[in-house]
Amino acid sequence: MKRRDGHLHSLPRLLRDILMVLLLTLLTQVGGLAWMASRLFRRSLPTFLLIYVALSAGAAALAPTYGRAPVNCLGDGALQMQSWTYCVLNRNFISPELAQVLEETAAEMNQRHPGTITLLLDANFPFFNGFPLLPHLSHDDGRKADLAFYYRDETGYLPGKTRSPIGYFAFEEGPTRCPDRRPTLRWDMAALQPLWPDYALDRARNRAVLAILAEDRRVGKIFVEPHVARDLSVTSEKIRFQGCRAARHDDHIHLQLP
């Protein structure tokens, strides 16, 4: 009886570990493996963090084998990661071709509008085509990435700044063709909107980056909410509506290779 009770007593811990492995795998791809490895040693957060850092460093070294490489998280040029969070979570990996597109786009933006910093948001994980990068419906092959909008206030353009801390969920309000149905990925995040600073879209820069991407033959599709494209007076067969089942795209720009 004691033996059976011991098994029952260990069940909640086992369930917790299973949940942690699933959660960390979905968030970081290698985090679940780090959690399982840390269970073999002293059960402490520092042990997990050491293993996770080691696995992340190994992922960066091995990613080129899978046709991907990390965007430099400490870069200070025209193309930068919007937040170190994406690097810590291993969501800053892209294919060499996409890297070239982004670097050239950022350089062109800086040439047209000196001092412009183009910010990269979620990109892809280091390994395996088809592995989901939640909450996105794509971003699973190294050929997709999100760019933050460019913002300004009464003083002018705000280099390197976004309305929200992670570049997402600060929506530009406008008409939508989508019915109000639940469940949906078109989160309004209404409770968060009053928390963001009152920055406005930098119309010239956002219009320019959409035009640059649309004219690039290497770019296949660009997703942005239709009311944003209309407001910026930008049209192209590549600039599309992502659909009502996907997240809103009036807080960022999604681009992908063919």
Q: What is the mean pLDDT of residues 226-250?
A: 93
pLDDT tens per residue across span 15-31: 888 999 999 999 999 99
Residue 153 φ then ψ, to 5°? -130, -160
Cα dihedral 96, 102, 108, 113 sign: negative
Say what the pTM is.
Answer: 0.90
Distance CA(213)–CA(16), nearest Å, equals: 45
Contact call for residues 95 and 103 (beta carbons, < 8 A): no
Q: What is the pLDDT of residue 3?
A: 45
Q: What is the mean pLDDT of residues 87-95?
A: 97
Rounded to 5°, the CA angle 105-145-134 comes to 165
pLDDT at residue 210 is higher than 90: yes
